[in-house]
Structure 1
């Protein structure tokens, strides 16, 4: 499982997908979510604006598994 560091309180799911290099645009993120290819904490997720906090685990089909961690500010 890869870790993705954030310096803020949370990150939105569409921003996270770009940061994790799973997609390169917001449109690609939307399509990926509509396909049901993303799980947050083992539950299917389709909301681009879902807030992710340190400790959340994200699984993306054909991209990998990730955990959000708090980075240094």
Structure 2
């Protein structure tokens, strides 16, 4: 399963769909979510601002997309 890395501890569902690329822009993400086309951990979620955290599984079955959310590694500290 594909993993999408995020830098912070959480991300909003609409932003995540744009980050992945399954939604080309915010309006498309909003419409997909409102139509009930997006599953979070196997359940339909119609909240565009739903907080998605590391370990969550997001799916858009109509697009054949399923991915997990992972924490991006911390960048090395350069002194």
TM-score (norm 2): 0.87
Higher RCO (Cα < 8 Å, 6 or more apart): 1
How far apart are the structure 1 equivalents of 2:10 and 2:33? 19
Q: Note the aligned Cα RMSD (angstroms).
A: 0.9
How far apart are the structure 2 equivalents of 1:60 and 1:17? 9
**Structure 1 contact 17–23 (Cα < 8 Å) conserved:** yes
Q: What are the Cα deviations for residues 28-56 of structure 1, in whole angstroms up to 9, with x where unaligned?
A: 01110122110000010111100011000
Which contiguous aligned blocks of 4+ residues in structure 1 show a shift greater than 3 angstroms?
none
What residue ranges of structure 2 are gaps of 5+ in the alignment?
75-79
Between structure 1 and structure 2, the one with the greater Rg is 2
What residue ranges of structure 1 are gaps of 5+ in the alignment?
none
How far apart are the structure 2 equivalents of 1:6 and 1:23? 17
How far apart are the structure 1 equivalents of 2:30 and 2:6? 21
Q: What corresponds to 1:66 in structure 2?
A: 67
Number of residue pairs matched by the alignment: 73
Shift of 1:24: 1.3
